[in-house]
Amino acid sequence: MADIHQSTLPNGLRIVLCPDDSVPLVGMSMLYDVGSRNETPGTAGFAHLFEHMMFQGSEYVPKGDFIRRIHALGGLANGSTSRERTNFYLSLPAHQMGLGLWMEADRLRALMVTEDNVENQRQTVLEERLQRVDNSPYGEAKVRIVELSYSDFAYGHPVIGYRKDLEMATTDDVRAFHDVWYGPDNVVLSMVGDLEVEPTLDLIHELFGGIPKGGERPALHLSEPRRMQTVRTELEDRLARMPALFVNHQSVPYSDPDFYVYEVMETLLFRGPSSRLIRRMVIDESTALQVTGGYEAHRGPSLFSFFAVLPQHGDPSQLSEMYQAELERLVSEPVDEMELEKVCSQLRSSRLFGHEAVLSRATSNARSLLYHNDVYWEERYLERVQRVTAADIQRVAARDFDPDGRVILEVRPR
């Protein structure tokens, strides 16, 4: 197992350090435990807008300087927001890691929120929404399928938010968001690379130790009743030229022991040219031009999703039944050992290649702690996946892939 150090500062900041001197770099992830699931009606998109605001300057790092200073060292820095978390990540030469820590600490303790910056970033986010949703084929459908799949607002609205909510955001709203969610007790700081644990811990303590805890955070009540009846909807898309199909089933959260069964089912169905759905639908029968999907795991209610773009005259209803038949085949025919071995090989390879970069390992370690409360979760992953049996797959597929528990969205070009 890798040598991973874990500790917590008195102000609640959780720290994960993993030395690796194979390259003279350090990857750093500040994983804030706030995402779109923490938004409430009327504030959809705030978490993502706030991600933008974190690059607009702090007490000692003027607007534009965060990225400029990282770039000046040849590093990279960016942020990303999901339903579960907001991740600020950077990588830089190992001997300059102090700069990265200092800038992260400064924007955590003293972010500059001004009217101008809020307005400027609101415009940028609205442009981003235009690009990703309004001007993108199937963009509206991707929002709709999520809305249809959850009755609860927390997971049932888009991360990028709604235009009307973004337009209403005020500077005070943004300040309040920082006060509530951006405290050291709501973040995991993870670093992987050419570092020594003790001096790095000293530096983190010096820079972050004086930052007070954040405000009281509202508890998140997530509930999603089991779907008993299939929802089937159609949508016309003026930007699409080909029909498309979205199908979602409810699935289990990260913490569920069947998490690993879902990981195996995802690979079996969707990953690689010999996977069942790609082989059948895309390569052999050409009923779809493109098929993607898999396990959308969260800490709360989760999904198993399917998305396909069909040929111009393809029939989405027929394809959705073909997909359901493949899911039911998981129940009726036990997966043979050879196919399970293939899946394990694919997962092992994908894990190793995914961990080539120190930055992706830093984020992965932070996620392991935040979602699984186990910094060695990633190390144990393969062993747990290898324990999944054909009977496990039959059991979970029979329980969760109910033909009456689907959300189906058929998209037709206008």
Partner 1 sequence: MNTFPDHPPPATEPRPWTFPSTVIRQLANGLHVAVIRMPSLPIVSVRWAFLAGRLHEADEQIGAGLLLQRMLRHGTSRMGSAEFARHLDRRGARLGTQVSVDSTVVSISTLREYLGEALQLATDVALHPGLPERSLAVERIRALQVHQHERNQVESMASIWLAHAMYGTHPYGHPLATRSGLESVTREDLQSLHARIADPSRAILLVTGDVEPDEVMDSIARSVEEYDSRTTPAPEQPLAPQPIEPCVWLVPKPEAEQTAIGVGLLATPRNHPDFLPLRLVNRIFGGGASSRLFSALRERQGLTYGVYSTLDCGLWWGDLTASMMVSPEKTGRGVMALSEEFERMGTGDISPAELQHGADYLIGSFPQRASGLSGVSSLTMAAWLHGLSPDVWRNYQADIARIDLTQATDTARRWIRPRQAAWVVVGPPEALDAAEDQLQSLHRPIRRVQMGALLD
Instruction: Confirm or reject binding of residue 355 to partner 1 (CB under 8 A).
Output: yes
Measured CA to CA, the distance from residue 99 to residue 66 in angstroms comes to 10
Question: CB–CB of 73/99 below 8 Å?
Answer: yes
Read off φ and ψ for residue 87, nearest 5 degrees. -110, 125
Pick between residue 148 and residue 289 the one whose CB is nearest to partner 1. Answer: 289
Least gap, CB of 328 to partner 1 (angstroms): 23
Smallest Cα–Cα separation from 406: which of 329, 330, 321? 321
Contact pick of 30, 54, 105, 111 for partner 1 (by CB under 8 A) = 105
User: Which helix (H) or strand (E) element contains residue 17?
Assistant: strand 14-19
Residue 180 has which token pair? 């509530």
Residue 74 found at the interface with partner 1 (CB under 8 A): yes
Considering the rule CB under 8 A, would residue 92 count as an interface residue with partner 1?
Answer: yes
Q: Within 10 Å of residue 352's Cβ, how many Cβ atoms?
A: 10
- Indicate the burial class of 173 (C-beta count within 10 angstroms; 0-12, 13-18, 19 or more): middle
**Of the listed pieces 164-172, 254-262, 334-342, 371-379, which binds partner 1 according to CB under 8 A?**
334-342
| Subset of 275-304 contacting partner 1 (CB under 8 A) | 275, 279, 282-284, 286, 289
Q: Which is closer to partner 1, CB of 98 or CB of 156?
A: 98
| Helix axes 377-386 and 337-354, enclosed angle (nearest 10) | 170
Q: Counting contacts by CB under 8 A, is residue 103 touching partner 1? A: yes
User: What are phi and psi for residue 193, nearest 5 degrees?
Assistant: 150, -160
Q: What is the dihedral of CA 125, 128, 130, 133, to 10 degrees?
A: -110
Given 8, 10, 95, 220, the residue binding partner 1 (CB under 8 A): 95
CB of 123: closest distance to partner 1 in angstroms? 4
Asked if 68 touches partner 1 (CB under 8 A), the answer is yes
Subset of 228-247 contacting partner 1 (CB under 8 A):
238-239, 241-242
Retrieve residue 57's tokens. Answer: 């300057």
> Under the criterion CB under 8 A, does residue 140 sit at the interface with partner 1?
no
Q: Which of residues 2-21 bind partner 1 (CB under 8 A)?
A: 21
Among 106, 258, 263, 266, binds partner 1 (CB under 8 A): 106
Q: Give, as ranges, the residues between 157 and 186 that touch partner 1 (CB under 8 A).
A: none
Q: Which of residues 118-137 bind partner 1 (CB under 8 A)?
A: 119-128, 130-131, 134-135, 137
Laid out side by side, the sheet with 76-81 consists of 5-8, 14-19, 187-193, 25-32, 86-93, 76-81
313 binds partner 1 (CB under 8 A): no
Q: Using CB under 8 A, pick the residue from 115, 167, 198, 206 that binds partner 1.
A: 206
- Residues 19-38 close enough to bind partner 1 by CB under 8 A: 21-25
d(CA 342, CA 315): 32
Q: Segment near partner 1 (CB under 8 A), from 251-259, 271-279, 316-324, 364-372?
A: 271-279
